[in-house]
Amino acid sequence: MSDKKKKLLVFSGAGVSAESGLKTFRDQGGLWEDYDISEVATPQAWQANRDLVLKFYNMRRKQLFKATPNTAHKAIAELENYFDVEVITQNIDDLHERAGSTKVTHLHGELRKVQSERYPDLIYDFEKEEIEIGDLCEKGHQLRPHVVWFGEAVPMMEKAYEIACNAELFVVVGTSLNVYPAAGIINFVPNNTKCWLIDPNSSEYQLPKKWKLIQDKAGAAMPNLLEELKKLA
């Protein structure tokens, strides 16, 4: 292993969090615990019914407090012993951080943070289980979940593209390559970058030639891939 660590990018999706018991919209065909996406995860929903939106995210936050990192999160964190690792995730939980990953970019926000509904750059860590009506930012406006809702811009996207441009090794886990934003990020990865996809639902014929497919769940596949990647460090 040389003194300078190779740059390894891990892009993680909902499949990684699902193995820690955190559900996803896609599992339920757009429903989450019987909530419709349009009623709880759009700017229009927030304007129409703040109480319902807060109830939904407060429930998710409580579930997150009970969840723990799984073997996939831990294997990804261990990669930092061998590589210069960046994690880009679609997930809004903090399980990567709790497992030990130190450079994590959250594309869709973070459940354990809140932001001002009026000034989205006013972002705060939030350790309580529940955001309540009347919880205000320093300028006197209601706090909302620090989550990118459907129909909103993804502010971290440019940073993600920059990280992807420098990746020497690239692992996609817990999502497929044909779902945005993963589909966009792969276009920025250099042509000579070695790439792996961990996804039980993808098939070889869908993949560009340079990709290696591991048709398994994240928790089973990631520790094995860790051992394979160590040899490339």
Specify the DSSP class assigned to residue 80.
G
Which is it for strands 143-147 and 109-116: parallel, antiparallel or unpaired? antiparallel
Specify the DSSP class assigned to residue 142.
B
| Catalytic (active site) residue 146 | no
Are 91 and 19 in contact by the 8 Å Cβ rule? The answer is no
Using DSSP, state whether 118 is helix, strand or coil.
coil
- Which structure tokens are listed for 138? 């320093």
Residues 6+ positions from 18 with CB-CB distance below 8 Å? 24, 27, 174
Q: H or E stretch including 60?
A: helix 50-66
Distance between CA atoms of 192 and 188, rounded to whole angstroms?
12
Catalytic residue among 73, 96, 106, 108: 108
Q: H or E stretch including 160?
A: helix 157-165
Are 167 and 159 in contact by the 8 Å Cβ rule? The answer is no
- Active-site residue numbers? 108
